[in-house]
Amino acid sequence: DRLRKMADAALSQLQAPDAKKEEFRAYLSKAGVIDALTKVLVGLYEEPEKPANAIDFIKMTLGAPSGVDVDALKAENEQLRQKCDEMELKLAEAEKKLAEGSPDE
Which alpha helices (H) appear in 1-105, and where do they start and end? 2-31, 33-46, 54-62, 70-100
- The single-letter code of the amino acid at 98 is L
What is the Cα–Cα distance from 48 to 11, expressed in whole angstroms? Answer: 49
- pLDDT tens sequence across 19-49: 788 888 899 999 999 998 999 999 999 998 9
What is the Cα–Cα distance from 79 to 6, expressed in whole angstroms? Answer: 67
Domain boundaries, the chain: 68-105
What is the Cα–Cα distance from 79 to 85, expressed in whole angstroms? Answer: 10
- pLDDT tens sequence across 53-97: 898 888 888 886 667 787 888 899 999 999 999 999 999 999 999
